Chains A and B, each alone.
Chain A
Amino acid sequence: MESAAQIRERLVAAFPGASVEVVVNPGPAAQDSLLLGPDRARAIAEFLRDDPVLRLDFCSNVTGVDWPAREARPGCLEVVYHLYSMARKHGPVILRQRTADRADQVSVPSLTPVWRSCEFQEREVFDLFGVVFPGHPDLRRILMWDGFKDHPLRKDYVEPDDYEWEPTAHGEVLAKARRHQAAAGEGPGP
């Protein structure tokens, strides 16, 4: 199967002006990925699905990732698609889409019209990360209840304080218990 760089060459030739970059994967798995810009993402996905050499007809996994802002780069939310081919029995080809930021420009075109398997998985990314997918047939929360307001898998999510507190050996639990006591105004116990 072609490498990510070779696929990129073909995509840039087929879609002049489209934004396609190779993201190198530094680890031993060496599964490089292609970062797509939002404007031609759906057309590129259809091209990859219908191309006679690649025939990537199976979207196996859709993952959301939260990258909070750091000094080197601004924050964004990322959606990673793992594509395989059932017809040619090869893969994976990995696509990525990134949002502009983590606050209000969080939309990324939906690839559900291309691969039906993205339907529930993109709903899950919307539910747990807050990425909006225009073009999705039925975008609503899937795992949490409809009235829930947060996006729990974001790195800055604060879980509700509903534990019963007792000291254990773990420093983190002890620290949380002390914060709980300070917030609840209870003094130290016996």
Chain B
Amino acid sequence: MSLSPSPLFSAPGPQVRAVSDEFHGDLLEVSMGPHHPSTHGVFRMMATLDGETVVKLKPVFGYLHRNHEKIGEGTSYLGSMPYTDRLDYLCSMTNNWAYALAVESLSGQAVPERAQYLRVILAELTRLLNHTCLAGFLLQDCGASGTPLMYAFREREKILDLFESLSGSRMMCNYQRFGGCRTDAPPGWLEAAAALVGGYGAFLDEYEALLTGNEILMARTQGVGRLPAALAISAGVTGPMLRAAGVDYDLRKVDGYGFYPRFEFRVPLGAHGDTYDRYMVRVLEMRESIGILQQALRGIPAGPIMDPKARLRGFRAKPGEAYGRIEGPKGEIGFFLISEGGPNPYRYRVRPPSFINLTILEDLCLGHSIADTVVILGSIDIVLGEVDR
């Protein structure tokens, strides 16, 4: 048993090492993270710098690898639902829906109409919450320390109040079930949601007045981290990052899951694929989400919220496999399940959008300064619970 005591004066801050390269002279290798104010969690980037310019960047993962997939093999299907909350821990409702969709696809269950409407309402509220917080965190990374984040969290608290009164928990909602939803909306909930959605447009106007035309934000994000469309498609990038690169691929339109084909909404696309486009696409998506929410809240029918033939206790799926995916706020979140007929899945796989969106992190950062790396990482919108699972 070796207990190696640390030296009394261990090097503070990031580990910095000088690296010599015959073509480039002296390069500096900086390890950003895993503890860093701007890495959105425990994420590490080994950046090699020539002066201030990034010449190589290797991400290191695994600091939040919590073995979700292995635990999923040892847990029943329903028992894994609370674990899906903890994947992308900002957006628990959409994770729940993706998993419920995968299991419903595996077992061939139908979902009643009111439950589908509720799922759409909660998913779009989650999208509003996520994109608002992303704008706050991105501005934090740009150096606007705290104020946009305070505005973002003020609105997030209002949405979390709705989630809490519906599901009992602010963040880890554990709300979707296979064949519907867990509980129906309490009286007054739909009116409160409609009031929130009605006021959200004014909040977005206030937020955009501060941010969108802000010359510091524009100077720091326009032209930074340009992602070409062909690279985005090959690298499997999905979500607002893909649409900012100009590729029209939104699962709500392509797969038409849930009741999305009933709602009218547009899909904003970016022209340049840089960080500013990624920010603007998310702002525009928020406005479209407000439209979807208004349509859904107007049209939600009365009725049951659970498939009457669904059996939750002792749920067993027939042998087979299924891949179910939805358009989460960060991209395509999917679950691949292999069943051998038992109470637990044989293989439980999460397709994490943040992890796969990070494939091109090095490509985006090459040639930029180390400060731009932080802004680019902020615009990719990662959550480490999903990256490392």
Interface residues of A (CB under 8 A from B): 25-29, 31, 57-61, 63, 65, 80, 82, 86, 89, 92, 94, 115-117, 119-121, 128, 141-145, 152-153
B336 at the interface (CB under 8 A from A): yes
Q: List residues of chain A with CB within 8 A of the CB of B388.
A: 143
Q: List residues of chain B with CB within 8 A of the CB of A128.
A: 69
Q: List residues of chain B with CB within 8 A of the CB of A120.
A: 61, 355-356, 358-359
Measured CB to CB, the nearest residue on chain A to B338 is A65
Give me 19 other A-B pairs in contact (C-beta within 8 A), A26-B320, A27-B321, A143-B62 excluded.
Answer: A27-B108, A28-B105, A28-B108, A28-B320, A29-B321, A58-B236, A61-B323, A61-B334, A65-B338, A86-B247, A89-B249, A116-B234, A119-B359, A120-B61, A121-B355, A141-B62, A143-B388, A152-B70, A153-B70
Beta-carbon contacts under 8 Å, B210-249 to A:
231, 233-238, 247, 249
Complex Cα distance, B357 from A120, in Å, reads: 10
Number of A-B contacts (CB under 8 A): 106
Interface residues of B (CB under 8 A from A): 61-62, 65, 67, 69-70, 105-108, 231, 233-238, 247, 249, 254, 317-323, 325, 332, 334, 336, 338-339, 346-347, 349, 351, 355-356, 358-360, 388
Q: Which of A28, A61, A94, A117 is close to B359, meaning CB atoms less than 8 Å apart?
A: A117
CB contact under 8 A between A61 and B69, given known A31-B321, A120-B356, A144-B62? no
* B346 smallest CB distance to A (angstroms): 8
* B356 smallest CB distance to A (angstroms): 6
Q: Can you offer 6 A-B residue contacts whose CB atoms are under 8 A?
A: A27-B321, A29-B106, A61-B349, A116-B235, A128-B69, A143-B65
Complex Cα distance, B356 from A61, in Å, reads: 9
Measured CB to CB, the nearest residue on chain A to B349 is A63
Q: List residues of chain A with CB within 8 A of the CB of B356.
A: 117, 120-121
* A78 smallest CB distance to B (angstroms): 9
Complex Cα distance, B166 from A55, in Å, reads: 43
Task: Judge whether B236 and A117 touch: CB under 8 Å.
Answer: yes
Which of A25, A80, A116 has most chain B Cβ within 10 Å? Answer: A116
Measured CB to CB, the nearest residue on chain A to B347 is A65
Q: List residues of chain A with CB within 8 A of the CB of B339.
A: 27
Q: List residues of chain B with CB within 8 A of the CB of A89.
A: 249, 254
Task: Judge whether A27 and B319 touch: CB under 8 Å.
Answer: yes
* A29 smallest CB distance to B (angstroms): 4
Task: Judge whether B320 and A29 touch: CB under 8 Å.
Answer: yes
Q: List residues of chain A with CB within 8 A of the CB of B70.
A: 152-153
Q: Which of A28, A61, A143 is close to B351, meaning CB atoms less than 8 Å apart?
A: A61
Q: Which of A28, A60, A65, A92 is close to B236, meaning CB atoms less than 8 Å apart?
A: A60
Task: Judge whether B231 and A116 touch: CB under 8 Å.
Answer: yes
Measured CB to CB, the nearest residue on chain A to B355 is A120
Q: Which of B236, B249, B322, B347 is close to A59, meaning CB atoms less than 8 Å apart?
A: B236
Complex Cα distance, B325 from A86, in Å, reads: 15
Complex Cα distance, B213 from A134, in Å, reads: 49
Complex Cα distance, B235 from A61, in Å, reads: 11
Q: List residues of chain B with CB within 8 A of the CB of A116.
A: 231, 234-236, 359-360
* B314 smallest CB distance to A (angstroms): 17
Closest 5 pairs (CB-CB, A-B): A27-B320, A117-B236, A28-B108, A29-B322, A143-B62
Q: List residues of chain A with CB within 8 A of the CB of B247.
A: 86
Q: List residues of chain A with CB within 8 A of the CB of B346.
A: 65
* B81 smallest CB distance to A (angstroms): 19
